[in-house]
Chain A
């Protein structure tokens, strides 16, 4: 199974993981609020989705409706398109492109366009500020993320995701070869999905930011897209850093699922642990600390690759 036949598997997998992430987030919230946690938390995302489906879409005076709707659609489709390079089982991916990791990075960058459009479209102050914030955030996280992706490509000597997984066969995972890169990846991936401490474009201090004027089905599609971005970021960490399908005893596809769920749970929990970062302060940290850190990691990895021959 590969290529076109893998598309349904990818879509169903994404849907299940989005639902899992939303339920898990709801479980964390219930635990902190002291509510009893039960299986009903599993129904929370579905209930929210139904509620949004029954609501009317919102409208504002003089919106740029085309960009607004297009932005919502982009936020939803971009993570799905980026996910085509992610291996679903040993040797199975929708498209194992020779430039897989560049494809993923490039496609996820289109999220900037989507979020900016959603902020710009409604012709309203708070969403626009939210859209601007995401661009500023992108300036902070994209450079370290790009360097991290290059580091992994350098370790494997290839840009193809299946080669990167093969490079970790029987050896150390790349998370151990390049721990700083792995750490920065998790941070940047969270920022890319504007989740948790990086939820600046949809911040509570902007009355919801780019989400402020979204209602009904638009809000649902946007929210699902945001979870999809988080899921895709978590799922991509598995082939990049955690050895993909490699692991003892269990079959490969099960290892992929287990590792993806663990990374996803880690990213989801960040929302309930940390306060939101302030961009004016994070920007400096990203450029003064993260970029040099990832560069040093890149040079160390380069030296390792040279020495190994």
Chain B
């Protein structure tokens, strides 16, 4: 039993170190794409540590979400940057003094929280269904509120997209949506 705990601890430390190291490398690379994928690597390492703490669901979801986010981020950065591939030397950090102050303050606050909060250590048996227990533990009877908020957020995203769209369905299908085929630029007929 002790040996198993120790190997799990060792894995945890390895992944934690990996998360920090790749997080640091994000700011030391010239290439936008490399920066995005280093950040992804950092998040994946965090997901591994979360999984090691028996929250497999959170870990797996983190892999899924972060992969999608980082790939999209890479795509958008390439679109907007003059030199995304790092062909020329490029500074990845800006406003260094301000950033330094903020990050030191955040670090102190988080460290203080870790050290000062009286963390409860469960000695009881691990629940049968960890995913279920985490969900209940985090939301309890507020589940419905969270779900409603999620749906509202999704509606807001769709609405803002509809507002931002250059061409909506009335441009494509006619004022009374009477066309059977949409009229799109470059696609006559």
Contact = CB atoms under 8 A, between A and B. Distances in A.
Which of A106, A110, A120 is most buried by chain B, counting CB atoms within 10 A of its CB? A106
Interface in A102-155: 102-103, 105-107, 109-110, 112-113, 116-117, 120, 123, 132, 135, 138, 142
Contacts, number: 65
B74 interface: yes
Given A110-B67, A116-B74, A135-B75, A99 B34 contact: no
B64 interface: yes
Interface residues of B, number: 24
Contact of B71 (A64, A102, A112): A112
- Determine the main DSSP class of A at the interface with B: helix
Contacts of B63: 106-107, 109-110
Given A98-B131, A102-B61, A106-B61, A142 B68 contact: yes
Given A107-B63, A113-B37, A98 B71 contact: no
Nearest to A116: B71
Contacts of A165: none
Interface in B61-81: 61, 63-64, 67-68, 70-72, 74-75
Interface string B44-65: 0000000000001100110110
A99 B75 contact: no
B168 interface: no
A72 interface: no
A67 B34 contact: yes
B85 interface: yes
A32 interface: no
Nearest to B57: A99
Given A67-B37, A99-B131, A112 B67 contact: yes
Contact of B68 (A64, A97, A112): A112
B164 interface: no
Contacts of B40: 113
Contacts of B131: 98-99, 159
B34 A64 contact: yes
Q: What are the nearest 7 A-B pairs in CB distance?
A: A106-B64, A106-B63, A102-B60, A109-B67, A106-B60, A99-B56, A99-B57
Interface of B: 31, 33-34, 37, 40, 56-57, 60-61, 63-64, 67-68, 70-72, 74-75, 85-87, 129-131
Interface of A: 62, 64, 66-67, 97-99, 102-103, 105-107, 109-110, 112-113, 116-117, 120, 123, 132, 135, 138, 142, 159
